[in-house]
Amino acid sequence: MTPKDDRQADFAYQAVYRYMINLINEVGTDARVKLPSLRQLSERLNVSISTIQYAYSLLEKEGRIYSVAKSGYYAWPVLNKPAGSSGGDLLERLYASARRPGMRVLSADEPALGASLDGALLLLERELLRHYPRHLQPWSQPCGVWELRTALAARYTSSPTRCWQADEVYIGADLRGVLEILIEVLGLKGAAVIVESPCDWLILRLLQGAGVRVIELPFTAQGGLDLTLLEQLLRNESVQLALLSSGVSLPSGIALSSHDRMQLVRLLNQHGCWLLENDSHGDLGFEQPITALRELANPERLMVFSTFEKMLGPEAPFGYLLSRHLSSELQRLFLLRAFRLSSIRQRAIARLYQSGRIDQHLRELRPQLKEQARLMKLRLDEHLMDHVSYRMPVAGATFWLRSEVPVDMRQVFQRLLARQVVIAPGELFSISGLHRQHLRLSHMVDQAHNLESALGELALALKQAQTG
């Protein structure tokens, strides 16, 4: 039965997803495997290219596959080694382990896990399909449909001097693709870029792979950026831009004080440094939203990127960029990249913004995230009080834990894999060796994961991996 035959019982992308899972699992090899192109699968399975794109985006989010610009999609190698084996790249082993059946995955960052808008989005898309039949959908909008670009421009506009237009918004298939274009347009190869640390591993690896000179700016023990160090770096290094979170820095879960934010913006402006703001978690603060850095920064030296996925769930994997500058080059590269984005899906997301449904969703999601964090705190204090320290997060879906005594965190990772538990070691969030005593732990965990048992295993692994 093809995915098209199965539509009465399931959404087409889910059938494609299952087909791809079987295809990946059939290939037992230690080498990377190139997967069929979007068009090849579309013709083979008799479904639209956008349906294939959704399934591939979900697989990439789960760490089963990865994309290579101008080359296509590849399956991560199937590591035919026991779970406790220590060979290979750490991130690759994390992804491969998370794929294995029966693993309790505590390493994820999925804020919308328990309250996504997938259902509402798909129902709205079906309704829109009656007004915009599939054969009439245009594919000539390389930067995204105007309706969604207009909705985003309106959402990010806060005053006559801090306003955005639809043609300053660019939408891509996912965050990775958008950032790859941005890195190329800005000509960052060999340039110095300051990033807050810890920093998302996707961003770090993209910058590193593009030959960018990454300068990590860690948070102080008091929970702020080291502004003295930042000033020295801006004075002594030819820094082109700083990549910083809009409100709360994740995975650390730290929000800068008003004083630090003003001083940070002052230093960037004083040294003519651009701000590239990461707004991926900007709407996920537990309390009232924190004033975003973009509201304080020089609007003429500002770009913003984000993704819908953290807020809406896996059905909305698109990434987007806001930039007042470099419009002709951005348009050219978005056109060359040829993202095959469903105009219907984009229109559906735009309608969620326009109707106020997204704001309602956020009002429901924030208290849920806060409550899950509270419950996780109780569990951490019960099982790990003598082993880790942490600051209570104020946003998102993760805790940032630090071992109280020196440990070999890679050994902790390996011991837990042998017990079918997956964590994210802190070194993944740095490219210069920082955070080796840290780990990221999700508090939005499926109840079937038996969290109490997993935390007990973590406590034992931390004790057994002590080095001092």
70 vs 455, higher pLDDT = 455
Q: Are residues 153 and 241 in the same domain?
A: yes
In a domain, 220, yes or no: yes
Does the predicted model carry a pTM greater than 0.75? Answer: yes
Please state, in angstroms and rounded to a whole number, the distance separating the CA atoms of residues 248 and 260: 13
Please state, in angstroms and rounded to a whole number, the distance separating the CA atoms of residues 316 and 54: 8
- pLDDT digits 0-9 by tens, 434-445: 999 999 999 988
Q: Are residues 239 and 287 in the same domain?
A: yes
Give mean pLDDT, residues 356-374.
94
Q: Are residues 285 and 243 in the same domain?
A: yes
Contacts of 359 (CB under 8 A, 6+ apart): none
* CATH number of the domain encompassing residue 53: 1.10.10.10
Q: Are residues 317 and 234 in the same domain?
A: yes
In a domain, 445, yes or no: yes
- pLDDT digits 0-9 by tens, 271-294: 999 999 999 999 999 987 788 999
* CATH number of the domain encompassing residue 165: 3.40.640.10
pLDDT band at 315 (very low <50, low <70, confident <90, very high): confident
In a domain, 370, yes or no: yes
Q: Give the pLDDT of residue 138.
A: 56
Distances (CA, A) of 101 to 25, 74, 421: 12, 20, 11
Do β-strands 192-197 and 438-442 pair in parallel, antiparallel, or remain unpaired?
A: unpaired
Q: Are residues 192 and 320 in the same domain?
A: yes
In this structure, are residues 409 and 436 in contact, taking their beta carbons and an 8 Å threshold?
A: yes
* % of the chain with per-residue pLDDT over 70: 88
Please state, in angstroms and rounded to a whole number, the distance separating the CA atoms of residues 255 and 236: 27
Give mean pLDDT, residues 344-350.
90
pLDDT at 76 over 80: no
Q: Give the pLDDT of residue 367.
A: 94
In a domain, 115, yes or no: no
pLDDT band at 187 (very low <50, low <70, confident <90, very high): very high
Longest dimension (CA), the chain: 66
* CATH number of the domain encompassing residue 400: 3.90.1150.10
Upstream peptide bond of 299 is cis (omega within 30 degrees of 0):
no
In a domain, 66, yes or no: yes
Q: Are residues 38 and 166 in the same domain?
A: no
Please state, in angstroms and rounded to a whole number, the distance separating the CA atoms of residues 425 and 432: 14
Q: Give the pLDDT of residue 5.
A: 41
Using DSSP, state whether 106 is helix, strand or coil. coil
Q: Are residues 371 and 253 in the same domain?
A: no
Q: Are residues 379 and 346 in the same domain?
A: no
Q: Give the pLDDT of residue 133.
A: 67
Q: What is the number of structural domains in the chain? A: 3
Q: Are residues 310 and 453 in the same domain?
A: no
* % of the chain with per-residue pLDDT over 90: 55
Return the beta strands (E) in 267-323 as ranges: 274-278, 302-307, 319-323
Q: Give the pLDDT of residue 66.
A: 75
Among 321, 338, 355, which residue terminates a domain?
355
184 vs 121, higher pLDDT = 184
245 vs 64, higher pLDDT = 245
In a domain, 373, yes or no: yes
Residue from 376, 309, 314, 316 nearest 342 by CA: 316
Residue linked to tokens 């039949």? 133
pLDDT at 57 over 90: no
Please state, in angstroms and rounded to a whole number, the distance separating the CA atoms of residues 380 and 391: 12
Using DSSP, state whether 248 is helix, strand or coil. strand
Among 78, 106, 136, which residue terminates a domain?
78
Residue linked to tokens 């294995």? 100
Domain that holds residue 367: 363-464
Give mean pLDDT, residues 190-218.
93
Please state, in angstroms and rounded to a whole number, the distance separating the CA atoms of residues 51 and 58: 11
* HEC profile of the chain: CCCCHHHHCCCHHHHHHHHHHHHHHHCCCCCCEECCCHHHHHHHHCCCHHHHHHHHHHHHHCCCEEEECCCEEEECCCCCCCCCCCCCCHHHHHHHHHHCCCCEECCCCCCCCCCCCHHHHHHHHHHHHHHCCHHHCCCCCCCCCHHHHHHHHHHHCCECCECCCHHHEEEECCHHHHHHHHHHHHCCCCCEEEEEECCCHHHHHHHHHCCCEEEEEEECCCCCECHHHHHHHHHHCCEEEEEEECCEECCCCEECCHHHHHHHHHHHHHCCCEEEEECCCCCCECCCCCCCHHHCCCHHHEEEEEECHHHHCCCCCCEEEEECCCHHHHHHHHHHHCCCCCHHHHHHHHHHHHCCHHHHHHHHHHHHHHHHHHHHHHHHHHHHCCCEEECCCCECCEEEEEECCCECHHHHHHHHHHCCEECEEHHHHCCCCCCCCEEEEECCCCHHHCHHHHHHHHHHHHHHCECC
Please state, in angstroms and rounded to a whole number, the distance separating the CA atoms of residues 66 and 59: 8
Residue from 116, 108, 102 nearest 450 by CA: 102
Q: Give the pLDDT of residue 134.
A: 61
Please state, in angstroms and rounded to a whole number, the distance separating the CA atoms of residues 429 and 427: 5
Q: Are residues 347 and 453 in the same domain?
A: no
Q: Are residues 371 and 349 in the same domain?
A: no
Q: Are residues 264 and 412 in the same domain?
A: no
In a domain, 274, yes or no: yes
- pLDDT digits 0-9 by tens, 146-176: 999 999 999 999 998 899 999 999 999 889 9
Written as one letter, the residue type at 384 is L
Among 355, 371, 386, which residue terminates a domain?
355
Mean pLDDT of the chain: 86
In a domain, 254, yes or no: yes
